Amino acid sequence: MASTPDILSIVTRPTAAVDRLLDWITPQHPIAFVRDGEGLVGIGELLRLEFRGADRFTAAAAAWSELARTAIVHDSVKRPGTGLVALGSFAFADSSDSVSVLIVPRIVVGSRDGIQWVTTITTGETSGLPGASDGLPAGPHEPAGDLVHVDFVPGEMSTKNFTKTVKAALREISRGSAAKIVIARDQSAELPADADLRLPITSLANRYPDTFTFAVDGLIGSSPETLVRVQNGAVSARVLAGSAARGDDRISDGRAAGTLMSSPKDQKEHALALASVMDALAPLSSELHAASEPFALQLPNLWHLATDIEGQLSQRSSGLDLIGILHPTAAVAGTPTPDAIRLIDELEGFDRGRYAGPVGWVDANGNGEWAVALRCAQVSGARITAYAGAGIVAGSDAKKELAETELKFRPIVEAFG
Ligand SMILES: C=C(O[C@H]1C=CC=C(C(=O)O)[C@@H]1O)C(=O)O
């Protein structure tokens, strides 16, 4: 549940002091959501709203609109992400022990379309008014510190158990219980006390610039999948499903992409994921467009089948409203959704936490960007747990799916390598 929110005073001003956004990440409790050098970095936690259970999205949307309604905002930049903003991360499952959070930072450093700004947020009605603060605190926090090296070992789901579970999922699919089930596994490691997370996060962002690199309440990663982006009434998403390893040279790499594009199994897996997002957005949008064929998205570790969706919202839905409607897509759960969720619960047998849940930000106007938390790990005290999964459809091969999860772990494993 949300704690009782205070009235917040917010000042956003343009700044010339921000060169590289990522230099502002703090060593402990980093808060960030960036892609290609743009996005938001939070410094310090002013307010934390917590939610649990099946109504976590509706409760978050209601608490957020109340906070936004009473906030006193002085915003001379006026762009999506300026003014009052929270970064959030939500649990995958209704029954998860992991709490879902919206975090309002004390300071937000932002960059978008070549414009940089700083937002200071304070509680109470008088502080934080223009002139009361000139914005940026001591910083930037240079990316520094020692490399955090950890060795991941299988977690609650061993590799052997994963292949067994994929085979069990295939039996359910052949019985007609579901058309697609996404099966995940975990790997974990001990972290040194007070590990400085700036280097792993910066290295994720540098190696995977086209993905959303995030750090919210200990959940860190680089996700290629946009769950939903809301910007002044426009809505967009990038659906991914269907994967192949990159080739070792130009020829084998081109062949890998070609084989993926012509694979009926991957095309089916992708079509189910796309349909789940289109079906969820259609009643809320006009002019909803998606290409008739996916394209091959190139990442350093993988090829993915990808489809971009764009439309206009026909109702005043905020990003928080939409993540509650869209989650979980067939890219992380399966099809039909209720059957896939039940089967994941039965077959996987571990708590996914916030892996595969929405992670992103929302502003007071309901604008926001939310990724599906993939290629990520949760830092909880001295423990780090990484997650990766694969979509199982008729024709999937358990060994290949295991190999695919290894490639999906790579961003996190290398960031801590
Ligand atoms: C479930 C994951 O990826 C999803 C997103 C893209 C491709 C996927 C696949 O090909 O199986 C998965 O649906 C993960 O990275 O843990």
Mean pLDDT in consecutive groups of 10 residues from the start of the chain, 417 residues: 70 89 89 97 96 98 95 96 98 98 97 94 65 55 74 96 98 98 98 88 95 98 97 95 95 97 95 95 92 95 96 90 96 97 97 98 97 97 96 96 97 94
8-131+149-415 to CATH, choices 3.40.50.300, 3.40.30.10, 3.60.120.10, 3.20.20.70? 3.60.120.10
Cα distance from N-terminal residue to C-terminal residue, the chain = 37
- The CA distance from 310 to 295, in Å, is 15
Phi, psi of 377 (to 5 degrees): -145, 150
Question: Within 10 Å of residue 289's Cβ, how many Cβ atoms?
Answer: 11
186: which 2 tokens? 């975990």
**pLDDT (0 to 100) of residue 125:** 66
Report, in angstroms and rounded to the nearest whole number, the Rg of the chain calculated over CA atoms. Answer: 21
Catalytic residue among 225, 348, 369, 404: 225
CA of residue 216 to ligand 1 center, whole Å: 21
Q: Which residue is listed with tokens 């509706």?
A: 58
Testing ligand 1's pocket by substitution, the residue of 162, 181, 182 carrying the most ligand atoms inside 8 A of its CB is 182
Give yes or no for residue 332 CB within 6 A of ligand 1: yes
Between CA 391 and CA 406 the distance in angstroms is 14
Residue of 316, 364, 376, 371 whose CA lies nearest to 86: 364
For residue 375, how far is its CA from the centre of ligand 1 (angstroms)? 9
Span from the CA of 408 to the centroid of ligand 1 (angstroms)? 8
Ligand 1 within 6 A of CB of 374: yes
Smallest CA-to-CA distance from 357 within 207, 178, 225 is with 225
Q: What does the domain layout of the chain look like in residue ranges?
A: 8-131+149-415
- Whether the predicted interface score ipTM is above 0.90: yes
In the chain, the amino acid numbered 394 is A
User: Is 180 an active-site residue?
Assistant: yes
Ligand 1 pocket residue status of 242, Cβ below 6 Å: yes
